[in-house]
Amino acid sequence: MLFNTPTFLVFLAAVLVLYSGARSHAQRAAVLLVASFIFYASWKPAYLLLLIGSLSINYWFYSALTRTRSTALVVSAVALNLVVLAIAKYIVFLTDNFIFVWTAATGESINVPDWMHWALPLGISFYTFHMLSVMIDVYRGQWTDRISFRTWTLYVTFFPHMVAGPILRASELVEQLERLAPLRLDDLKLGALLFLGGLMKKLLLADHLAGIANEVYAAPDLVSTAQAWYGTLAFSLQIYFDFSGYSEMAIGLARMFGVTLPRNFLYPYISRNPRDFWQRWHITLSRWLRDYLYVSLGGSRVSFARNQVNLLTTMLLGGLWHGASWTFVVWGAIHGLWLVAHRFLLVFFERLGLNSRPRLAGALSLAGWPVTFLIVTFTWVFFRATGFHAASQMCVAMLGGGTDGGALEIRTFEKGIVWMAGAVALLEPRFVAWCVRIDLPGRWWQVSPLLRGTAYAGLTLMLVIFGGPVQKFIYFDF
């Protein structure tokens, strides 16, 4: 059940009606729990058993940790979750690599058993991280409030965020779920506005860009240099509008029920350096990796050299979290090396005394924007390509080694979509700031119902006519 389908809108309407009829907190929580399980079961009902088993076992670990903050207990909980995640998500990847080494050593060729090729349980990376964060916070003494099993289950399965985030800590959601209130008109209005904004990003931009990126990446050996860049730029913009659109829809859905979720994107393509980028891109994942992996490795409390190793390790594992392929590891490695290089560059600039020359420092910072955008765009090749061979072909094409003229055809209107999407990504922060400054949402509700209804009808018609072919959200695969 995708957020961008009529089926989901019918589901949402039914949930809102049932929720509005609930007379107590317990009834409201029950409505959201049942709705969340139905939402998850709509993908593959069999995986409900895995989800329920994970919820139950991890709640036992959580309860035990509240009684005794045992190191052995938290290590066991983390290890068990990582083993389950490895089996569910990485077993084919691990087996492939074992077979590669075995074949190289013995010359004997074996195949991956067919039974290993199961469908990835939806949202397993996300809901595993949700539960791990609570247990680690309890162990560290950062979360002391008792969570009931009902609230624990709803914290993990709450359908707006369960499948692809935002990735939350207990302190951001549990208290809100324990005081669920009746529907409020202001929350419904704001939630609907946020949901609509995300839906527009998905249907009008991301889904159209997907067709361009798919066509180019389907034949990386047949593209010209210009086509390789158009295809990669299309994917760079597609993944932003797809994932930020999903995140805004999730935030809007939660707000309809009076629940506030944290922002997950903050205009990443205006970033001027890699650190700035990761403070703007998939913010809740960056924060999770920092708080639970980077800090656990020693963070910045160690020597400068060890700190860089910790940073690179965090990004390598962050890349692997995204997918069971070495291309994702390379993607993470490039970002890690880039972050390390940026830190060395900051030290170099400090020794040159640039901090005392604000104009020069400002000019260098501004020059960092096109460099950052180009590097981020180039790294997306490894994220999107189906393997190293395809990635290398695309990189060669982008660096000037593409096919003369190209065997593909990117039509003028498709190029226009890429340029328009790029303009939207760059102008979005100014537009949002303008809307806030003039209080556009507040003014909108003062417009006559007839004009608002006409605008809604026109927008619906625009989404139907100009919306791209329905595509699943990219991060549903992770």
State how far the Cα of 193 lies from the Cα of 349, in Å rounded to an integer. 44
Structure tokens at 332: 């993470």
User: How remote is the C-alpha of 462 from its chain's centroid?
Assistant: 27
Answer for the pair 2, 472: CB distance below 8 angstroms, yes or no.
yes
C-alpha span between 209 and 233 (Å, rounded) = 9
Q: CA–CA separation, 136 vs 65, rounded Å? A: 9
| 130, 161, 322, 335: the active-site residue | 322
CB under 8 Å to 206, separation ≥6 — which residues? 237, 238, 239, 241, 242, 245, 468, 471
Q: How far apart are CA 264 and CA 269, in angstroms?
A: 14
Burial 127-166 (b: 16+ CB within 10 A, else e): bbbbbbbbbbbbbeeebeeebeeebbbbbbbbbbbbbbbb
The helix, strand and coil proportions of the chain, stated in percent and rounded to the nearest 5, come to: 75, 0, 25
**Backbone CA torsion sign across 332, 337, 341, 343:** positive
Is 335 among the residues known to form the active site? no
Residue 429: asked if its preceding bond is cis (omega within 30°), the reply is: no
Max distance between CA atoms of the chain, in angstroms, equals 77
Active-site residues, by number, are: 322
